[in-house]
């Protein structure tokens, strides 16, 4: 694992320029994102943030991953305070108040703090609850976050973009099978893409959809997510119901892959965040020029100031590319590795089924198999 110093050094210049621009123009969005990059360089654990609409099944999904029903699950809008879950040898919980107070509580009493019913509009002033869970032993470098549900596109933009999205390393976007990919979900996917390249879409409650329609439903979500938000990542069906252990295992396998390649994931995340920050800073600067052109005097002042910023940004971009390239190479190596493993499994399966299938064939194909099924060249 890289030390904070190793990750920080090459970023200082870029972040310094962007922070300067953000401060000068009062761009809090950029300031938050610069702060998030700074946090990433000092905290090596990856934040897997579970996001989605009200009642999509976010808390249920996390309970099934940790193997304990500690997060309150309700049929009415429930979670109102985020809960951060990480590996710990013993199940325990801590409540952090906005005042700075910290207190240990029973992990079975989280409903008193994180639910709308017991803590309406967060009158108890809780910033977050932290849970140590032995069920996360397989993911010591991941920190999971259960977030309050989103009710509208507006809320997605307002609350999340400033508070949670900048901290997301991996976004698990939960979409309910009974309300697949609403406008708010598409908006969320678009916003998430600004902050991380690591996104998983999970179609929850798949047990509520008849078996023959499940594949179509996932294909629909995939199509809509691509058309509406340019999303091309995995779409995983999910259910917390007992017969669907194989679907839960698939999600765990995806998370295990992130855990195993934590360094590459973190490098790609840092490169992505920096590159997007550079792009957005350029856009803000261009807008600032356009706005200032309405006022000749301020335009002259601003132009002089912006010329200095612009002179520094090309160097910033080059540095960002330097960061992206090694990360991309590392990821490529990982993908080739995975493909080779899957190819070996697939080849074994094809060779195993071939004799039975070949009996049904006619003509030249059949003659080739009969000659030597194992050395026949199928290419
Ligand atoms: N049938 C079925 N119901 C589920 C599944 N997952 C969650 N539910 C139900 O969906 C409802 C909402 O689940 P929660 O886990 O509280 O959803 P949430 O997204 O955390 O909700 P908020 O915190 O209010 O946004 C509850 O009644 C759950 O029992 C599932 O896989 N299958
Ligand atoms: Mg919840």
Q: What is the DSSP string of 139-165?
A: -TTEEEEE-PPB--HHHIIIIIHHHTG
**201 closest CA partner among 212, 215, 185:** 185
Which DSSP string do the residues of 48-90 spell out, in sequence order?
A: EEEEEBTTSSHHHHHHHHHTS--S---SSS-B-S-EEEEE-SS
Confirm whether 195 is domain-assigned. yes
196 CA to middle of ligand 2, Å? Answer: 22
Q: Exposure of 121 by Cβ count < 10 A (0-12 exposed, 13-18 middle, 19+ buried)?
A: exposed
Q: Which residue has the tokens 């920190």?
A: 143
Q: Which of 57, 85, 114 to mutate to test the pocket of ligand 1 (most atoms within 8 A of CB)?
A: 57
Is position 225 within any domain?
yes
Q: Judge whether 320 lies within some domain.
A: no
In a domain, 374, yes or no: no
Distance (angstroms) between ligand 2 centre and the Cα of 104 equals 21
d(CA 236, CA 218): 8
Contact 82, 48 (CB under 8 A): no
pLDDT at site 2: 39
Mark the residues whose beta carbon lies below 5 A from ion ligand 2.
58-59, 78-79
Cβ(92)–Cβ(107) below 8 Å: yes
Residue among 206, 155, 129 nearest 51 (CA): 155
Classify residue 300: in a domain, yes or no.
Answer: no
The per-residue pLDDT string of the chain (379 residues; one tens digit each, 9 = 90 and over) reads 333 444 444 556 667 777 777 777 777 777 777 777 766 655 668 899 999 988 899 999 999 999 999 999 987 767 888 899 999 999 999 999 989 999 999 999 999 999 888 988 889 999 899 999 999 999 999 999 998 887 644 454 445 545 667 788 999 999 999 988 888 899 889 989 988 999 999 999 999 999 999 999 999 999 999 999 999 999 999 999 999 999 999 999 999 999 999 889 988 988 888 888 888 888 777 777 777 666 666 667 767 766 766 665 555 555 555 555 555 555 556 555 655 655 565 556 656 666 666 566 555 555 555 554 444 443 3
pLDDT, residue 4, reads 40
Q: Please state the φ and ψ torsions of residue 175, each to the nearest 5 degrees.
A: -120, 125
Q: Is the CB of 54 under 6 A from ligand 1?
A: yes
Ligand 1 atom having least distance to the Cα of 146:
20
| 282 within a domain of the structure (yes/no) | no
The span from the first CA to the last CA of the chain, in angstroms, equals 43
Question: Is 338 among the domain residues?
Answer: no
Helices 296-358 and 262-292 pack at an angle, to 10 degrees, of 150
User: Does 112 fall in a domain?
Assistant: yes
Q: Which ligand is nearest to the CA of 83?
A: 2
Judge if pTM exceeds 0.85.
no
Using CA atoms, how far residue 282 sits from 22, 223, 312, in Å, is 11, 31, 11
Domains in the chain: how many in total?
A: 1
Residue 110 belongs to domain with CATH number: 3.40.50.300
Whole-number Å distance between alpha carbons of 29 and 77 = 28
Range of the domain at 73: 43-260
- pLDDT, residue 292, reads 67
Out of 52, 56, 60, mutate this one to test ligand 1's pocket (max ligand atoms within 8 Å of CB): namely 60
* Residue 73 CB–ligand 1 contact under 6 Å: yes
């Amino acid at each position: 694992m890289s030390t904070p110093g190793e990750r920080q050094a090459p970023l200082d210049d870029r972040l310094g320029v962007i922070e300067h621009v953000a401060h000068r123009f009062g761009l809090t969005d950029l300031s938050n994102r610069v702060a998030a990059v700074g946090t990433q360089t000092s905290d090596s654990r990856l934040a897997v943030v579970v996001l989605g609409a009200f009642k999509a099944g976010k808390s249920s999904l996390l309970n099934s991953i940790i193997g304990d029903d500690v997060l309150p699950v309700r049929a009415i809008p429930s979670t109102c305070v985020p809960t951060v879950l990480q590996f710990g040898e013993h199940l325990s919980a801590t409540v952090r108040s906005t005042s700075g107070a910290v207190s240990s509580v029973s992990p079975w009493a989280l409903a008193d703090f994180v639910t709308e019913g017991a803590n309406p509009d967060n009158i108890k002033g809780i910033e977050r609850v932290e849970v140590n869970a032995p069920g996360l032993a397989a993911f010591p470098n991941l920190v999971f976050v259960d977030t309050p549900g989103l009710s509208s596109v507006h809320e997605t933009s307002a609350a999340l973009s400033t508070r949670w999205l900048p901290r997301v390393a991996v976004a698990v976007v939960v979409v309910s099978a009974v309300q697949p990919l609403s406008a708010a979900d598409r908006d969320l996917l678009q916003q998430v893409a600004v902050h991380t390249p690591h996104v998983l879409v999970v179609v929850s409650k798949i047990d509520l959809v008849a078996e023959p329609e499940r594949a179509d439903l996932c294909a629909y979500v995939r199509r809509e997510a691509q058309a509406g938000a340019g999303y091309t990542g995995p779409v995983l069906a999910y259910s917390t119901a007992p017969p669907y252990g194989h679907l839960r295992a698939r999600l765990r396998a995806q998370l295990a892959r992130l855990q195993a390649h934590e360094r590459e994931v973190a490098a790609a995340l840092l490169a992505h965040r920096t590159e997007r920050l550079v792009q957005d800073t350029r856009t803000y600067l261009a807008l600032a020029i356009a706005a200032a052109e309405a006022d000749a005097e301020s335009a002259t002042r601003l132009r002089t100031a912006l010329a200095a910023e612009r002179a520094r940004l090309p160097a910033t971009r080059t540095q960002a590319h330097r960061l992206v390239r090694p990360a991309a190479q590392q990821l490529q190596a990982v993908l080739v590795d995975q493909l080779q493993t899957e190819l070996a499994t697939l080849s074994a399966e094809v060779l195993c089924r071939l004799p039975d299938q070949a009996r049904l064939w006619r003509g030249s194909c059949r003659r080739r198999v009969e000659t030597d099924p194992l050395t026949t060249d199928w290419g």
